[in-house]
Chain A
Amino acid sequence: MIKIPLHLYESICAHGEETYNEECCGAIFGYNKDYGKDIKEIMKFKNEKDGNRQNRYLISPSEYLSAEKAAKEKNMELIGFYHSHPDHPAVPSKFDTDHAFPWFLYLIVSVGKGKAGDFRGWVLEEDRERFNEEIIETIVLTENEKINY
């Protein structure tokens, strides 16, 4: 199971709508818990893919390293990445599967005609054959909790 505060869920949706009809992408920080992953923060990235950004995203090695570094500073773990699928379902493609790492959470938001819709979480199976879907629970925080979150 994945727990995500509503305001982060909303920022990922907004990021996808902002970059529509190109894919957005970013990193996800938090903790690994017994039940799954507890999302605490996100970091927006620029889609570094040359061309074809409607169908592809790329986070460069240097950005990846900055995410690892940020996680260390925050005393959190880098638990995965999110990206959007403009006008396509929030389901991993073959390319997603081929390019994914196990353990990481891949959040995908479908953005149909500029409006964010389906929001789903996926983790690659150990044998790299397929993604398994994770249940997502959104948590509503008070303004005060958000500050301390």
Chain B
Amino acid sequence: MDVKILIPTPLRQYTEKNDSVTSSGNTVREVLQSLTSKYSQLQKHLFNERGELRSYVNIYVNDEDIRYIGNTDTQLKENDVLSIVPSIAGGNYTADVLEDIKLSNEEILRYSRHLLMPEVGMEGQKKLKAARVLMIGAGGLGSPLGMYLGAAGVGTLGIVDFDVVDETNLHRQLLHSTNDIGRSKLESAKDTIKLINPNVDVVTFETRLTAENALDILKDFDVIADGTDNFPTRYLVNDACVLLGKPNVYGSIFRFEGQVTVFDAKNGPCYRCLYPSPPPPGLVPSCAEGGVLGVLPGIIGSLQALETIKLIIDQGDLLLGRLILFDALKFKFRELKLRKNPSCPICGESPEIHQLIDYEQFCGITSDDEQGPYQDQITVDELNKKLQDNEDIFLLDVREPHEYEISNLGGYLIPLNDLPNRLNELDSAHEIVVHCKIGSRSAKAVQFLKKAGFKKVKNLAGGINAWAGRIDKSMPRY
């Protein structure tokens, strides 16, 4: 039986410009088959790779859509007219990604309180599920970041860390608990996040972030959340983000104070616009040296998680070009305006940095910096022997008085910062051993004393913590 088929404008080029052609068959399928065998180029525009009619190609028999009357098996009668009607559809990229993302009923229930808010809704929740966030560090800042981002339904959460869980982490790093002491932080973090939300794909990178691996690790993520505790890594993360054009949700903490902002060199300043060069090594103590209030990373890391989520769902005003300073003792939030520095060496108008550099060197850190030169060091075992042999050793403790209260070796206490004013209390004829908590402040003291003319002065490698670990195990480490 011959049936008339109406051809839409764009497909007429394949039917010798005819707006209608005649084809034979008893069902819609047969008629279309004979149509495409005559005009073979029509095949790929009407059917997909699996031979099914494309979703945006509608076939009408007279004025009825075949979807409602039997699909391609629809029987045809004499004088029936078949029309090929395209439905014209399209849209932008965001929807491309979101189109493939589905939320299960379990997920819908889990994220119910997000879905109820129009600012998040299905679209925002799908954006979260599609998002890939990389956390640098699974420590103090990484804890609220990992827990809240995981709970919020971020689809892929990458974590870079190489440390193991230590007792001193537990007062603030809630990703880890007492049972995790000695475990890799990554394993412990992954377990905690998975326990909160098993839907999250946690991708772990058990390595120190370096100039060699940073671009490779960062490139597959949409947002980077920096929870590092040292300057070389901070500059490294910044530079890698600028080079890759990725936003960097930044947080830092010290004692009672914290900072948060969002760096995105494409739309605002970067870390180098704020701090063009690092502070001299040792000026800003790390958490291990200076301490930190446990709840503080909880606050700052949560603010980072908040900004990360806003960035992903594209809602509200981001902390872009705004640096928040939080002083927990005074309970004051201050906001500073940050501007892009036109002469910034990496994101300015004529950048000098086009690839990652040596960040240890940039930050003035040399390998023997921590404990000082080897010849100026003395181990806890050597010191123990000298003391047992009743050698005349003057033990100088350069820690703070409140640290002395935690534990001491009976040394003479002059805090590092007071040393220049109290040199007269020391006798350069004495053999002096200087110690602090872990050996880095005392290394600076030794350096200073040597310059001041002291010859017989050594740094106790590893500090009082090493002593407590090897010599006197009844002593607390801190």
Task: Determine if B89 and A61 form an interchain contact, defined as CB atoms under 8 angstroms apart.
Answer: no
Task: Determine if B91 and A64 form an interchain contact, defined as CB atoms under 8 angstroms apart.
Answer: no
With A61-B65, A68-B8, A93-B93 given, is the CB distance from A101 to B86 under 8 Å?
yes
CB distance from B348 to the nearest CB of A (A): 25
Residue of A whose beta carbon sits closest to that of B88: A59
One of B95-103, B240-248, B338-346 contacting the partner: B95-103
Q: Enumerate chain B residues within 8 angstroms of A58, measured Cβ to Cβ.
A: 87-89
Instruction: Give per-residue flags for A43-58: 1 if the beta carbon is below 8 A from chain B beta carbons, else 0.
Output: 0000001001001111
CB distance from B357 to the nearest CB of A (A): 33
Say yes or no: is A83 at the interface (Cβ < 8 Å to chain B): yes
Say yes or no: is A25 at the interface (Cβ < 8 Å to chain B): yes
Task: Determine if B91 and A23 form an interchain contact, defined as CB atoms under 8 angstroms apart.
Answer: yes
Say yes or no: is A71 at the interface (Cβ < 8 Å to chain B): yes
Instruction: Give per-residue flags for B239-276: 1 if the beta carbon is below 8 A from chain A beta carbons, else 0.
Output: 00000000000000000000000000000000000000
Q: A61 to B94: give the CA distance in the assembly, Å.
A: 25
Q: A93 to B96: give the CA distance in the assembly, Å.
A: 7
Q: A57 to B90: give the CA distance in the assembly, Å.
A: 6
Say yes or no: is B56 at the interface (Cβ < 8 Å to chain A): yes
Instruction: Give per-residue flags for A102-113: 1 if the beta carbon is below 8 A from chain B beta carbons, else 0.
Output: 111010000000
Q: Enumerate chain B residues within 8 angstroms of A99, measured Cβ to Cβ.
A: 56, 88-90
Q: Enumerate chain A residues within 8 angstroms of B86, measured Cβ to Cβ.
A: 61, 64, 101
Residue of A whose beta carbon sits closest to that of B87: A61
Task: Determine if A56 and B91 form an interchain contact, defined as CB atoms under 8 angstroms apart.
Answer: yes
Task: Determine if A102 and B90 form an interchain contact, defined as CB atoms under 8 angstroms apart.
Answer: no
Q: A51 to B44: give the CA distance in the assembly, Å.
A: 29
Residue of A whose beta carbon sits closest to that of B85: A61
Task: Determine if A88 and B94 form an interchain contact, defined as CB atoms under 8 angstroms apart.
Answer: yes
Say yes or no: is A16 at the interface (Cβ < 8 Å to chain B): no
Say yes or no: is B118 at the interface (Cβ < 8 Å to chain A): no
One of B9-17, B23-31, B216-224 contacting the partner: B9-17
Say yes or no: is B119 at the interface (Cβ < 8 Å to chain A): no
Task: Determine if B45 and A102 form an interchain contact, defined as CB atoms under 8 angstroms apart.
Answer: yes
Say yes or no: is A78 at the interface (Cβ < 8 Å to chain B): yes
Q: Enumerate chain A residues within 8 angstroms of B83, measured Cβ to Cβ.
A: 65
Task: Determine if A102 and B10 form an interchain contact, defined as CB atoms under 8 angstroms apart.
Answer: yes
With A68-B8, A77-B9 given, is the CB distance from A93 to B91 under 8 Å?
yes
Q: A88 to B93: give the CA distance in the assembly, Å.
A: 8
Within 8 A of B (CB), among A55-104: 55-61, 64-65, 68, 71, 77-79, 81, 83, 85-86, 88, 92-96, 99-104
Say yes or no: is A128 at the interface (Cβ < 8 Å to chain B): yes
Q: A85 to B93: give the CA distance in the assembly, Å.
A: 9
Q: Enumerate chain B residues within 8 angstroms of A83, measured Cβ to Cβ.
A: 90-91
Contact for A93 among B44, B45, B92, CB less than 8 A: B92
Q: Enumerate chain A residues within 8 angstroms of B407, measured Cβ to Cβ.
A: none
Within 8 A of A (CB), among B38-57: 44-45, 56
Task: Determine if A60 and B123 form an interchain contact, defined as CB atoms under 8 angstroms apart.
Answer: no
Task: Determine if A104 and B9 form an interchain contact, defined as CB atoms under 8 angstroms apart.
Answer: yes
Task: Determine if A96 and B8 form an interchain contact, defined as CB atoms under 8 angstroms apart.
Answer: no
Residue of A whose beta carbon sits closest to that of B58: A61
Say yes or no: is B231 at the interface (Cβ < 8 Å to chain A): no
With A52-B123, A57-B89, A99-B56 given, is the CB distance from A93 to B95 under 8 Å?
yes
Q: Count of chain B residues with Cβ under 8 Å from any Cβ of A?
A: 27
Instruction: Give per-residue flags for B71-92: 1 if the beta carbon is below 8 A from chain A beta carbons, else 0.
Output: 0000000000001011111111
Contact for B89 among A59, A68, A85, CB less than 8 A: A59
Task: Determine if A95 and B10 form an interchain contact, defined as CB atoms under 8 angstroms apart.
Answer: no
Task: Determine if A64 and B87 form an interchain contact, defined as CB atoms under 8 angstroms apart.
Answer: yes
Say yes or no: is B60 at the interface (Cβ < 8 Å to chain A): yes
Task: Determine if A55 and B88 form an interchain contact, defined as CB atoms under 8 angstroms apart.
Answer: no
Contact for B11 among A55, A56, A65, A101, CB less than 8 A: A101
Q: A45 to B154: give the CA distance in the assembly, Å.
A: 37
Q: A37 to B328: give the CA distance in the assembly, Å.
A: 66
Task: Determine if A95 and B99 form an interchain contact, defined as CB atoms under 8 angstroms apart.
Answer: yes
Q: Enumerate chain B residues within 8 angstroms of A23, measured Cβ to Cβ.
A: 91-92
Q: A128 to B393: give the CA distance in the assembly, Å.
A: 84
CB distance from B5 to the nearest CB of A (A): 14
Q: Enumerate chain A residues within 8 angstroms of B44, measured Cβ to Cβ.
A: 127-128
With A95-B99, A101-B45, A102-B45 given, is the CB distance from A64 to B85 under 8 Å?
yes
Task: Determine if A88 and B45 form an interchain contact, defined as CB atoms under 8 angstroms apart.
Answer: no
CB distance from B291 to the nearest CB of A (A): 46
Task: Determine if A52 and B95 form an interchain contact, defined as CB atoms under 8 angstroms apart.
Answer: yes
Q: A115 to B92: give the CA distance in the assembly, Å.
A: 17
With A55-B94, A83-B90 given, is the CB distance from A78 to B9 under 8 Å?
yes
With A68-B8, A103-B13 given, is the CB distance from A95 to B91 under 8 Å?
yes
Residues of B at the A interface (CB closer than 8 Å) are: 8-11, 13, 44-45, 56, 58, 60, 65, 83, 85-96, 98-99, 123
A-B contacts, 14 listed (Cβ < 8 Å): A23-B91, A52-B91, A57-B89, A57-B90, A58-B87, A59-B87, A59-B89, A64-B8, A78-B9, A83-B91, A86-B92, A88-B94, A95-B90, A95-B91
Please give 19 more A-B residue pairs, beta carbons under 8 A apart, in addition to A55-B91, A56-B89: A23-B91, A25-B88, A52-B95, A55-B94, A56-B91, A59-B87, A61-B65, A61-B85, A61-B86, A64-B85, A65-B85, A68-B8, A79-B9, A93-B91, A95-B95, A95-B96, A102-B45, A104-B10, A128-B44
Which 9 A-B residue pairings sit nearest by Cβ, starting from the closest? Answer: A55-B95, A56-B91, A88-B92, A96-B90, A59-B88, A101-B10, A103-B10, A61-B85, A99-B89
